[in-house]
Amino acid sequence: MPAQIIEDFRKHLCKTVPLGESDWEYIKPYFKVHHYLKKEALIVSGDKWNNYAVVMKGCFRHCFLNRNGQESVISFFLEYNWIGDNESLTSRQPSGFKIEALENSYVIVIDKSDFATLSYQVPVLREVLRNWRYTNFISCQYQIHVTHTLTALEKYRHFLKSQPELLLRIPHRMIASYLGVNPETLSRVRRKTCRI
């Protein structure tokens, strides 16, 4: 399986940037395949995150403990999503988040300093990083907008339209947390949606 994961990652990179065969052979040894079992953490609050990573197979949730001691889900990561804690990566401070596998999953990981060194040797890697940061920024900005401006029904409809595949992969209570509603409200909203 790891060999296939690495090959799928190469194909993914080549869709993003023009990466020649010699460049790929040069950078390939730096990318490692990590396997995570369901409920296993990629990051726990208090850890320092010092890697770039991409989900190749599986699903993760990104959450934190709110002031009531309950987990609040802020995002989900699926196949080909770049994953990690950007704040910890940039500030070199411990993370305040937990990222946990919701399924048995495979992730490609590279150390931040290795990536920086490689990006001088293979400049197209800088474009990969720029694309990843830009996509993350837009996604976070959009999620903040949705969370603060839409009703519970509108949030759920938006979720159904933008991420329908998650309904079969994510527990109901986590979807409720992600949408910023309690599970009972989500149940009412789902019933209304089914009648429409």
Residuewise pLDDT in 10s, the chain (196 residues) = 688 999 999 898 888 888 889 888 999 999 999 999 999 999 999 999 999 899 999 999 999 988 888 888 888 898 998 898 888 888 899 998 999 999 999 999 999 999 889 889 888 888 888 887 778 778 777 778 777 788 888 888 888 888 888 888 988 888 888 888 888 888 887 887 776 5
Q: What is the pLDDT of residue 104?
A: 96
Q: What is the pLDDT of residue 1?
A: 62
Q: How many other CB atoms sit within 10 Å of the CB of residue 117?
A: 13
Cα dihedral across residues 131, 132, 135, 137: positive or negative? negative
Q: In the 3-class helix/strand/coil scheme, how is the chain assigned residue by residue?
A: CHHHHHHHHHHHHHHHCCCCHHHHHHHHHHCEEEEECCCCEEECCCCCCCEEEEEEECCEEEEEECCCCCEEEEEEECCCCEECCHHHHHHCCCCCCEEEECCCEEEEEEEHHHHHHHHHHCCHHHHHHHHHHHHHHHHHHHHHHHHHHCCHHHHHHHHHHHCHHHHHCCCHHHHHHHHCCCHHHHHHHHHHHHHC
What is the topology classification, in CATH, of domain 2-147?
Jelly Rolls (2.60.120)
Q: What is the pLDDT of residue 195?
A: 62
Q: What is the pLDDT of residue 196?
A: 54
For the chain, which residues make up each domain, given as ranges? 2-147, 150-196
pTM of the predicted model, to two decimals? 0.86
Start-to-end C-alpha separation, the chain: 44
Q: What is the pLDDT of residue 172?
A: 87
Q: What is the pLDDT of residue 33?
A: 95
- What gap in Å lies between CA 59 and CA 31, rounded to an integer? 20
